Structure 1
Amino acid sequence: VYDTVLYSNGHIAVSAVETNIVIWDIETRRILQTLQGHTDLVTSVVLSPDERLVVSGSDDETVIVWDLDTRAALRTLRAHTDAVNSVVVSPDGKTIFSGSEDKTIVMWNLDTGEAIRTFQGHTTGVTSLAITPDGRRLISGSRDGVLIAWRVDTLADLIKWTATNRYIHEFTCEERRSFNVVPLCEPIPATPQS
C-alpha cells in the first residue's frame, strides 16, 4: 500500500495497492471495488472535495481521474515524462496538481483534463504536494531538499526554503544597500584616515 485516503464518513478508504486502486469498507474489512487502469505502481491517491472522484498518480507517468459512482476511469492525463509521485485536488474541486520524478508539477483542469501550466524549479523529482485551504498556494517538496511555495495564479515561487541553506546569514553592506535594510552601512572613506 503506497497511499491511502479516508472518506469523511470514516468508513471507507481508498488505497493505492500495486497497479490498482482499492476501495475498502473499514468496518467489515472487505474490498468493495478494485479500479484497474494503471500499468505500473500507483503512488498517490486523493479524493475530490465532494468525494465523487478519485485522482491517482502512477509510476506509469499518468494521472487518472476515476468516477466513484460508476467506478470508471473518466480520463487519463499525460504530460509527465517520468513517474508521478504525488497528486492533489484544489479545494474548489476544479484543478488537479501532479508532481513527478521529471522535476515538474503539472496543473490540470479537472473537468477537461487539459494541462494548464507546468511549474519548474526543483532539481530532482517532486515527491510531495500540498495546497492551502484557500487554494491560492501550492507547496512542493523534492528529493533536492527544497520546499517551494507557489502562487497558483501566477506560478511565482513565493518562498524557496532549502534544507542546506536554512540559516540566515548577516547581510553584507552591499546587500543592505541593495535591499534597503536599515541601518545602512557607513560609507567607506576614499582615503585612509589616521
Structure 2
Amino acid sequence: MNIVVGTYEELILGYKLINSEETYKIEQTFTDHSHLGCIKSAGISRKNVLATGSTDETIRLFNLQKQTELGTLMHHSGNVSKGTVTQITFHQDSHMFSTSEDGTMCVWKNYSWECLRQFRGHKGAVNSVSVHPSGKLAITVSKDKTLRTWNLITGRHAYISNIKEIADNVLWSPDGNHYAVSIYNKIHIYKMEDAAIHCTIESEKRINNIVFINNNVISYGGEGGQVFLHDFTTDKQVTSLQLKCTRIKGLCCSYFDDNIPLLIIAASDGNIWVFKIQIDQEQYEKVVEHDTKFRITCLAVTPPLPTKKHMKSEETLVLEQIEDNTNDKDNSDEKEDPDSEDSDSDEPEQRPENHKTIKRKLTEKNDVNPEASVNVKQKIK
C-alpha cells in the first residue's frame, strides 16, 4: 500500500506500508521536490498514479509503480483563472477531479490527461469535491457558503444549496446513500434521497479531515490531535484516539487482504500512524508509527479495491461525454467526446497550453534536513 504525504516545505514524501507475517512497517520509497509551493492536496488512483496540487497552481503526476514523474497540468494556472489547487480526487480508474481557489472544478480523463470540462459557478474558492460512486453526480463546497451539486451526465449544475457557513470538506459515503459536510467543528450527514440532514456531529475543536470507515461510521479529526469514530445511524460515538500531536492533517481508510479497516492518520507535526479498526468490538490497535520530520499538510493512500457491486459499469461512462468548453461560463453546451476510449498507456499525451510532459525518475529515499533550506537535497549514504 502506498502512503504519500505533502509538506509545507514543498516536498512530496512517498512510503510503502508493508504487511509481513502480521507485522507492519513503513518504508520510505521516494522524495520529490518538483513543486514550487506548499503541497495542499494529493490523490492516488487504483493503478497507483499519484497527483499532487500546490500553491504554485499546478498539478504534478507520478507513476508510483515505475517511480517516475509523468508530467504537469497547468489548467488552474492559465490566463483565464489562477489559484491554489485545493483538492484532488480520483473516480475509479477513469477520471480525476481537481478544485481550486480560482472557483472552478476540473474533470480530467486519466492517462491522456485531457481536461474534459472546467465547471464554473462558485463565486469563491472551492474547498472540496466528492464524486458519487455511480459517477453521475459531484458535490462541491466553497468559500461562497454554497454547496453545488453537478450533473456529470449533462455537464451542468443540478442545484445550489445555501449553507450560510463556509464548509471545509464534503464526502460521499461508500454506498452513495449519504454525504457528509464539515463546517468548522460540526459535521452534517445528509440523506441522498431527500438532501435532508440526517445527523449532526459536534466537536469541541475544529475539524480538519473526515473519512468514512464504512456505510455507517465516519471518522474525523482536527485541532488537538484527537480522532473520533461516530456511527451516524445510531448517533453514537464508537471510539476515540488521542494522539500526541498538535493537529490532524490527513485521514484515510483502506484495507489489506484481511478486510479489516486500516485508518491512516497524518499530523502536522510530521507523524504518520496506522491503526486497525474493529467496529463491532469498538476497539482499535496501533500497528505502526513513523516520524517524517517534516510539517505535513496532506495525505493520500492507495484506495481499496472495488467490490463486484461497484465495478465499472456503463453508467459511469457518462463522464466521458463531458467535453471542456472553457468559454461557456454557464456550462450550457453538451457535446460528446468522440475520442473518449480509455488509454492503456501510463504516460500522458503531449497537451498544448495546459499540459507539460516530464519524464523524470523520482529520487529514492532522500534524506532532507527539515531545518535547512527546502532547496537542499542530500542522498542517503
Q: Does 1:151 align with 2:211?
A: no
Give the counterpart of 1:139 among 166, 171, 180. 180
- The residue aligned with 1:161 is 201
In the TM superposition, what is the alpha-carbon distance from 1:161 to its structure 2 partner? 2.6
CA contact (8 A) 1:59 1:83 kept: yes
- The residue aligned with 1:175 is none
| Aligned equivalents of 1:114, 1:132: Cα separation in 2 | 23
Query: Equivalent pairs: percent with the same residue?
Result: 24
Q: Does 1:23 align with 2:61?
A: yes
In the TM superposition, what is the alpha-carbon distance from 1:80 to its structure 2 partner? 1.0
Give the counterpart of 2:86 among 30, 40, 43. 43
The alignment partner of 1:92 has SS state of coil
In the TM superposition, what is the alpha-carbon distance from 1:99 to its structure 2 partner? 1.2
| Aligned equivalents of 1:138, 1:127: Cα separation in 2 | 14
| Aligned equivalents of 2:179, 2:129: Cα separation in 1 | 11
| Aligned equivalents of 1:71, 1:6: Cα separation in 2 | 15
Give the counterpart of 2:95 among 53, 66, 71. 53
Q: Which runs of 5+ in 1 are unaligned?
A: 165-194
- The residue aligned with 1:6 is 44
Q: Which runs of 5+ in 2 are unaligned?
A: 1-38, 77-81, 205-381
Give the number of aligned pairs: 160
| Aligned equivalents of 1:153, 1:113: Cα separation in 2 | 21
| Aligned equivalents of 2:155, 2:166: Cα separation in 1 | 23
| Aligned equivalents of 1:111, 1:21: Cα separation in 2 | 25
- The residue aligned with 2:139 is 97
Aligned AA for 2:95? L
Two-structure CA RMSD over aligned residues (Å) = 1.7
**Larger RCO (CA within 8 A; separation ≥ 6):** 2
TM-score normalised by the chain length of structure 1: 0.76
Q: Which consecutive segments of 4 or more residues in structure 1 shift more than 6 A?
A: none
Aligned AA for 1:16? G
| Aligned equivalents of 1:118, 1:161: Cα separation in 2 | 23
- The residue aligned with 2:123 is 81
In the TM superposition, what is the alpha-carbon distance from 1:28 to its structure 2 partner? 4.5
In the TM superposition, what is the alpha-carbon distance from 1:76 to its structure 2 partner? 0.9
- The residue aligned with 1:106 is 148
CA contact (8 A) 1:35 1:72 kept: no
- The residue aligned with 2:225 is none
In the TM superposition, what is the alpha-carbon distance from 1:48 to its structure 2 partner? 1.1
| Aligned equivalents of 1:90, 1:124: Cα separation in 2 | 23
Q: Does 1:126 align with 2:167?
A: yes
